[in-house]
Structures are given as C-alpha cells and as structure tokens.
Amino acid sequence: MAVSRHDGKAAQDVLRRVGEASVLILISLADGPKHGYALIQDIKELAGVELGPGTLYGALDRLERLGLIDALPADDRRHPYRITAPGAAALRVHLDSLERVSAAGRLRLRLGGI
Amino acid sequence: MPAAAGGQVSGAARTTRLVETALRCYPARWRRRHGDEAAELAALLIRDGTPPGSIAWSYLAGAVREWLTPRPGRRLSAVACALLVAAGSVGVSAGVLASTVPARAAITNQGSRFVQCRPGPSEPVPDVIAAPGRPRVISWTAGHGQSC
C-alpha cells in the first residue's frame, strides 16, 4: 500500500529541488563509492545522460553541503565520493515519490484509454 | 610527419589552455579543492572523444554558478558585485534611452511644453532633496530636462 503524501508521516523529499544531476549522482553512488570520471561513465550507462564536468562538480558540492554524500581521502588526485546514511534515506524517499507519480500516470493513461 | 605532429601538439596545447582558462574562472577555494582532479577529468573526457569546447563551456558555466551561489558566511563576492553593477548599468542606460527618445519626439512634434506632473510621496525619499520653499514634485515625463 502506498504511503499517502498527506498523512504527515511521510519523510520530506529533500531531493525534489536539487535537480536531475544530483539525483543521478546519488543513484550512481548507491552501490559504492566512485570518483568523478567513474560517475560520469556510470550515469551515461544507466540513464543515457552525459553530465558535463562543471555540472558534476556543482552537484557534488551541493550534495556534500547537504550532508548527502561524503568525499573520501584522495586516491592519487581523484576524490572518491560515497553516499551517506541521510543521502540513502533521501534517495529512497525520492524514488518512492517518483514511483507513486509514475504509477498514477500509468493508471490515468489506462483509464483514458490512451 | 613533423608538420602534422607539430599541428597535433599545438592542437593539444590549445585544448589544454582552453580548459585551464575555464578552470581559472573558478574561485580559488574551489580550485584548491577540485582543480587538479578537474583538469585530469577533462583530459580523460577529451581522450574519450568529448569535444574540448563543450568541456570548457561546462566548466565556465559551473564557474559562473559557483560565484553566484551564496555560501554561508560569505558575502557577495567581488565578481558577483561587478556583474550586478554591470547589469544595473545596462538596465539604467536602457531605461534612460527608452524614456528620453519618446519625450524628445513629443517635444519636437508638438512644439508645446506641456508637462504632466504628479505630486510626490508624502514620506521623505532619501534620493530626492526638496528645494527649500518648493513643493516636492516628481515629473513623470523623464528626459524633458525640467522640474515642475
């Protein structure tokens, strides 16, 4: 059963306004730490989106400020990043929300006979 | 072929310079943190076939965002201030031009000196200094060069 958005108990979707790049980065980091180049490659593979390096670093800084990811000690010149526990929780809430919207959209398409 | 090799070297140097220039546009704090890694990432992406221009453009746009993003404890930076002042100057100049042209045209065409005035606000306005003994009135037909 889907959790109602209006029941007051559903966690707040902090990722709603951070932008697609940030969400894709969190999804990419969900299975383990990655550095910038690996993130760009992984996101290209999983979503078909090619993040520009400027967009990548902007999103990484924003996510780090929000405490959703951590920078690990530099490996050579590259900083790997990992998702934090609040980051994983925020991603879960956001994906649940997307799932609800997606299900509603599909249902309406069916009802509309389109 | 030496000429071709020279061309490739100069092309690579130009590409590197382009990306380095874009990276220099970031604040020093950002460069200390990400500078080396960002340069290496650019090299890897270029090696993979990403056009250097698009990488430089992405970094340039990122640098603008970085300067304009407010940080806790950081006041509006000098560059952001300069951008705001420049934008303001352009806006003011455009406003002055836009208001001057119709007023001049009206004076030229009508030949009369009809000026429509409205009374000013009842509260004192810091930028408006009332002349002693004269009511504070703001003219709404800017550019005619006279006060009411």
Give start and end residues of each alpha helix (H) in A1-114. Answer: 20-29, 36-47, 53-65, 85-111
The residue among B61 and B97 whose pLDDT is bigger is B61
Mutate to test the interface with B, among A34, A56, A61, A65 (most CBs of B within 10 A): A61
Q: Are A85 and B47 in contact (CB under 8 A)?
A: no
Q: Is the pLDDT of residue B23 over 90?
A: yes
Q: Please state the rounded mean pLDDT for residues A102-108.
A: 96
Q: How many CB atoms lie within 10 A of CB B37?
A: 19
State the pLDDT at residue B72: 63
pLDDT at B120 over 70: no
Q: Across the interface, do B62 and A55 touch by the CB < 8 Å criterion? A: yes
Confirm whether pTM is higher than 0.95.
Answer: no
Taking CB atoms and an 8 Å cutoff, what residues of chain B touch A54?
57-63, 65
ipTM confidence score: 0.81
The rounded distance, in Å, linking the Cα atoms of B71 and B50 is 32
Position B143 confidence tier, pLDDT thresholds 50, 70, 90: very low
Residue type, B10: S
Report which DSSP code applies to A70.
Answer: E
pLDDT of residue A21: 95
pLDDT at B128 over 50: no
**Which residues of A fall within a CB distance of 8 Å from B61?**
52, 54-55
Residue B130: what pLDDT? 46
Interface residues from chain A to B (CB-CB < 8 Å): 35-37, 40, 50, 52-58, 61, 74, 77-79
Using a CB-CB distance cutoff of 8 angstroms, which residues of chain A are in contact with residue B37? Answer: 35-36, 74, 77-79
How far apart are the C-alpha atoms of A25 and A84, rounded to whole Å? Answer: 12
Rounded mean pLDDT, B69-78: 64
How high is the pLDDT of residue B86? Answer: 67
pLDDT: is A22 or B130 the higher one? A22
Domain boundaries, chain B: 12-74
Are A54 and B62 a contacting pair at CB < 8 A? yes
B42/A57 Cβ within 8 A? no
Interchain CB distance below 8 Å, B45 and A35: no
Between the alpha carbon of residue B62 and those of residues A15, A34, B32, B66, B84, the distances in Å are 20, 21, 15, 6, 18
How close, in Å, is residue A21 to chain B by CA atoms?
A: 13
Task: Map residue A14 onto helix, strand or coil.
Answer: coil
| DSSP at B123 | S
pLDDT band at B17 (very low <50, low <70, confident <90, very high): confident
- Smallest CA-to-CA distance from B67 within B56, B57, B55, B80 is with B80
Q: Residue A11: what pLDDT?
A: 67
Most trustworthy range by pLDDT among A89-98, B9-18, B71-80: A89-98
Smallest CA–CA distance from B45 into chain A, residue: A37
Q: Would you give the end-to-end CA distance of chain B in angstroms?
A: 80
CB A36 within 8 Å of CB A75: no
B10 pLDDT band (50/70/90 cuts)? low
For chain A, the average pLDDT equals 89
Lowest mean pLDDT among A61-65, A75-79, B31-35: A75-79
Domains of chain A with CATH codes: 20-111 (1.10.10.10)
What is the rounded CA–CA span in Å between residue A83 and residue B13? 37
Under an 8 A CB cutoff, do A35 and B63 touch? no
- Asked if the model's pLDDT at residue B144 lies above 70, the reply is no
Is A58–B63 a contact, with Cβ atoms under 8 angstroms apart? no
* Closest partner CB to A57 (pick from B34, B44, B57): B34
Q: Token pair for residue A72?
A: 């690990």
- Kindly list the residues of chain B whose beta carbon comes within 8 Å of any beta carbon in chain A: 30, 34, 36-38, 40-42, 44-45, 50, 54-55, 57-63, 65-66
SS3 B137: strand
pLDDT (tens digit per residue) in B81-115: 566 566 666 665 665 556 555 555 555 555 444 44
